[in-house]
A = this chain, B = another copy of it.
């Protein structure tokens, strides 16, 4: 054993000799519907916490998933049908107490998608969009309320210095719509002129025509979409620096 090779070591190695934590991936999937931030929840059809609303998620499938992001993408597509969203890792939380089945870890992801209607295809689980505040007021499963709040926090923070809110809109969009999305995700109103100057001078949007406003009344607005490669744009100053 002293001079054992790595191959010999691996032949002897049995993963079942060790106590391992449970590992799941959970998703906070956000969108903007009716001008409000909404989050996708599923009603659990199985124990534990059967009947409670929870973030969509599940265990890593060691056969099917090659990496963590695959698990997240798979779950997102199962629930929403969306394939190319904004999807980013938020944090991992693990403790002996968060799941009654034992020591458990979850890797939390956050997804931003344009509003889609849900194809009720889900087997046992009931799935629906909840306005963010309503979701927080529910008695969520596990520690999903804290997870949801952490994702919300990340969303607010990054809204202050990136273009994240663009991903909850269906392009093309007007600058007014975009500003409303930023305001809803920040939870604060923004100055119109400052907002437009900031976005336009960053040169991250492409003009793609114009359109009358919703009500049919008023001056037509220019339509935009995100310029290719501009997803990663980072502003060097934060908006609303004193109010956040």
Q: A102 to chain B: which residues have CB within 8 Å?
A: 15, 62
- Name the segment of A73-81, A87-95, A175-183, A200-208 touching the other chain: A87-95
Majority DSSP secondary structure for residues of A touching B? loop
A6-B50, A89-B91 known; A19+B68 contact, CB < 8 A: no
Cβ contacts A to B, 17 pairs, < 8 Å: A6-B47, A10-B48, A10-B101, A13-B101, A15-B101, A20-B20, A23-B23, A60-B103, A60-B105, A65-B96, A66-B95, A67-B93, A68-B93, A89-B92, A236-B238, A236-B242, A237-B237
> Once the chains are docked, how many angstroms separate the CA of A95 from the CA of B236?
34
Interface residues of A (CB under 8 A from B): 4, 6, 9-10, 13, 15-16, 18-23, 47-50, 59-60, 62-63, 65-68, 89, 91-97, 100-103, 105, 107, 236-238, 241-242
Since A10-B47, A62-B96, A236-B242 are in contact, a sample of 4 more A-B pairs with Cβ atoms closer than 8 Å, ordered by chain A residue number, is A9-B47, A15-B22, A67-B96, A237-B237
Q: A89 to chain B: which residues have CB within 8 Å?
A: 91-92
Q: Which of B10, B20, B48, B237 contacts A21 (CB 8 A)?
A: B20
The smallest C-beta distance from A89 to any residue of chain B, in angstroms, reads 6
Do the beta carbons of A6 and B100 come within 8 Å of each other? Answer: yes
Q: Which of B9, B66, B100 contacts A10 (CB 8 A)?
A: B100
> Once the chains are docked, how many angstroms separate the CA of A241 from the CA of B241?
16
Closest to A100 in B: B10
Q: A101 to chain B: which residues have CB within 8 Å?
A: 10, 13, 15
Do the beta carbons of B4 and A47 come within 8 Å of each other? Answer: yes
Q: A60 to chain B: which residues have CB within 8 Å?
A: 21, 94, 103, 105
Q: A67 to chain B: which residues have CB within 8 Å?
A: 93-96
> Once the chains are docked, how many angstroms separate the CA of A72 from the CA of B80?
36
